[in-house]
Chain A
Amino acid sequence: MKIPKIIRKIGEVFMEKLILLCGGVTIIFVILIFVFLLRYSLPALRVVPLFQILVGKDWYPGDEAFGILAIIWGSLLTTVGAIIVAVPIGVAVAIYIGEVAHKRIRETLKPVVEILAAIPSVVIGFLGLVLLVPVIQNVLKIDTGMTALTGAIMLAFMAMPTIISISEDALHAVPQQYREASLAMGATKWQTIWRVVVPAARSGIVASVMLGVGRAIGETMTVLMVTGNSTAMPVWSHGLGFLQPMRTLTATIAAEMGEAVDKSTHYYVLFVIGAVLFVITFLVNFMADLALHRTRR
């Protein structure tokens, strides 16, 4: 069947306009997310000032105490802990896969990393709960194995695939001549990797770490399941706060959204926490993107 030319022309113009619209749709969504988080934060902010929420130490929603400082500490502790574990291992694995391992080993390692990345966070949380929590409790001889440390270890495994794959991309992007020049001047393979390739891939590696941080801050189910959900301020004598139960920003939303009374201040404060999370991850990802952009140039 022959479609008249004019109809085809109209259809084509329509499709191209639709494509242009869809091209910009992600921008619209980012703005919408921010606008709606703010829109439903306002009812809470009218009752409790933002400053009071951010620096308040007590979180007792039943008594209208909405301080999230202890919860921010919780997010910070688990994220920092996760990054301390995940960065050295992640970058080392990326170097091994990208620069050292033989082809066959590389082709078996990559799927392993992909499997790790694919495991749903609720399954990681479940494994942490059943396997790691008892170990932490018995080995460190503490009251409960649900601690910031447990959360940090599980989060490290969730941040690692991101760090490995982005770092490896960055290493891969280093021109082959750099390596050849270094080897030709008599450097060993390791000297070449450590003094030439890694420095050249620096900003990509930094970006991978930032994206790992973003992943760790935003992770919800895993930390909800293994960190014990206590909103008390961390006590430094408990292994810098790592050896006690705590709760993250994400877990607070997940744990309380269902039980908060509809349209109460408590309910809307959870949107404030969401907005805080959104701003933090936006900044982290923005910086990661800047670092990545620098590599490309």
Chain B
Amino acid sequence: MNRKLSQTIAFTVLRISTLFVVVPVLLVMYFIISRGWRSMSWSFLSTMPAEGGVSGGISGPIIGTLILVTCTIGIALPLGLLSAIYLSEYAKPNLFTRVIRLAIVNLAGVPSIVYGLFGVGIFLLFLKMQPSILVASMTLALLILPVLIVGAEEALRSVPQGFRDASLALGATKWQTVQRIVLPNALPGIITGTILGLSRASGETAPILFTGAVALMGHMPHSLHDPFMALPYHLYMISAASGATVPEYMQWGTALTLLTIVLTMNIAAAIVRLHYRRKQVW
């Protein structure tokens, strides 16, 4: 067969396949923005859901999600960062390190609902805690831990070895080198990874289903020991779980709000990455 012809055919097939990804994404953005936009108003964003989510707004779920992800990152970031420092700066290429990497890969692959079950098992059944923001954010923290570790480790590794050597040659100890040379230089990358972790945490539903999220609450949570409403769970409740009584525009409005929060974080992460890559001296 004509080699040129087969190449043309093959490349055409590749281009068409790409359309199968691009067109749905554009369609989805179009639908969510055009339909969600109609329900957008200050009162929709700033009032609590009423009548079982049929009327009112989504302020409770928005605030709940923001508090939840803040706590989640507060728990996960120190752990993830230290773990990444170990892997990047201290770990030797031995079996222990290999097992850690395997553990990270597997944590990343554990289904989100299994994290939810684990949260129920360890926090509610074993430690006898009550479903709350705290329990849900500890559960979510586990889920985003692999994201944070992988992101931070990559950032730490991208700091040139020469920086470390120079610091050590000047008589700094290993920890001083890590603390004053490696970490500051890896900061943009670490921030990027952290924002991506936040984005992931704000969209998750399954892990918080039984660990603290509730369908409806008349008030905002008063403390970290209170249950809370969350945007993803709210979207599930007013679309799939309830019997078609919720007006569609509210569903689209909730979807648009959630997607806006998540994508804003992703865009922020991309901007941080681009900005610092340009400024990078090495």
Instruction: Please classify the interface of chain B as helix (H, G, I), strand (E, B), loop, or mixed, using the class held by over half of its residues.
Output: helix
* From A29, A33, A126, A284, contact of B114 by CB (8 A): A33
Question: What does the 1/0 interface line of A229-245 toward B look like (CB < 8 Å)?
Answer: 00000000000000000
Q: Nearest Cβ distance between residue A76 and chain B, in whole angstroms?
A: 15
Q: Are A118 and B109 in contact, with the CB atoms below 8 A? A: no
Q: Are B117 and A96 in contact, with the CB atoms below 8 A? A: no
Q: Are A23 and B13 in contact, with the CB atoms below 8 A? A: no
Q: Are B14 and A96 in contact, with the CB atoms below 8 A? A: yes
Is B217's beta carbon under 8 Å from chain A?
no
Among A89, A123, A131, A219, chain B packs the most CB atoms within 10 A around the CB of: A123
Q: Nearest Cβ distance between residue B5 and chain A, in whole angstroms?
A: 10
Is A170's beta carbon under 8 Å from chain B?
no
Q: Are A120 and B205 in contact, with the CB atoms below 8 A? A: yes
Q: Are A221 and B205 in contact, with the CB atoms below 8 A? A: yes
Is A197's beta carbon under 8 Å from chain B?
no
> Known: A92-B18, A114-B266, A278-B110. Is A271-B103 also a contact (CB below 8 A)?
no
Contacts of A274 in B (CB 8 A): 113-114, 117-118
Q: Are A191 and B20 in contact, with the CB atoms below 8 A? A: no
Shortest Cβ distance from B7 into A: residue:
A190
Q: Are A15 and B175 in contact, with the CB atoms below 8 A? A: yes
Question: What does the 1/0 interface line of A77-105 toward B look like (CB < 8 Å)?
Answer: 00000000000110011011100100000
Partner-contacting stretch, out of A35-43, A51-59, A136-144: A35-43
Shortest Cβ distance from B102 into A: residue:
A289
Q: Are B258 and A120 in contact, with the CB atoms below 8 A? A: yes
Partner-contacting stretch, out of A60-68, A177-185, A250-258: A250-258
A189 CA to B3 CA, complexed, in Å: 10
Q: Are A37 and B117 in contact, with the CB atoms below 8 A? A: yes
Contacts of A19 in B (CB 8 A): 82, 85-86, 89-90
Contacts of B120 in A (CB 8 A): 257
Among B28, B99, B114, B176, chain A packs the most CB atoms within 10 A around the CB of: B114
Q: Are B112 and A16 in contact, with the CB atoms below 8 A? A: no
Is A48's beta carbon under 8 Å from chain B?
no
Contacts of A191 in B (CB 8 A): 3, 7
> Known: A24-B96, A211-B109, A214-B109. Is A37-B118 also a contact (CB below 8 A)?
yes
Q: Are B87 and A189 in contact, with the CB atoms below 8 A? A: no
Question: What does the 1/0 interface line of B220-261 toward A look like (CB < 8 Å)?
Answer: 000000000000110110011000000010010001001100
Contacts of A73 in B (CB 8 A): none
Contacts of B91 in A (CB 8 A): 23
* From A36, A96, A254, A284, contact of B113 by CB (8 A): A254
Contacts of B87 in A (CB 8 A): 23
Contacts of A122 in B (CB 8 A): 203, 205, 232-233, 235-236, 258
Contacts of A288 in B (CB 8 A): 105, 109
Contacts of B41 in A (CB 8 A): none
Identify which of residues 101-140 in chain A touch chain B, using a CB-to-CB cut-off of 8 Å. 109, 111-116, 118-123, 125-127, 129-131
Q: Are A284 and B109 in contact, with the CB atoms below 8 A? A: yes
Q: Are A29 and B251 in contact, with the CB atoms below 8 A? A: no
Shortest Cβ distance from A22 into B: residue:
B82
> Known: A23-B100, A258-B210. Is A218-B21 also a contact (CB below 8 A)?
no
Is B70's beta carbon under 8 Å from chain A?
no
Contacts of A160 in B (CB 8 A): 21
> Known: A109-B18, A225-B236. Is A123-B255 also a contact (CB below 8 A)?
yes
Q: Are A125 and B236 in contact, with the CB atoms below 8 A? A: yes
* From A23, A125, A286, contact of B106 by CB (8 A): A286
Interchain residue pairs with CB less than 8 A apart (21): A22-B83, A27-B100, A30-B103, A30-B106, A33-B115, A37-B117, A92-B18, A109-B18, A120-B205, A122-B232, A122-B235, A125-B239, A125-B240, A126-B240, A130-B251, A189-B7, A221-B205, A271-B117, A277-B114, A281-B109, A282-B109
If A93-B17, A220-B113, A225-B236 are given as contacts, then 11 extra A-B residue pairs at C-beta distance below 8 Å, sorted by A number, are: A26-B83, A92-B13, A92-B14, A114-B270, A121-B203, A188-B3, A191-B7, A211-B109, A221-B236, A274-B113, A281-B106
Closest 9 CB pairs of A and B: A120-B203, A218-B111, A23-B86, A92-B17, A22-B82, A285-B109, A190-B7, A36-B121, A225-B240
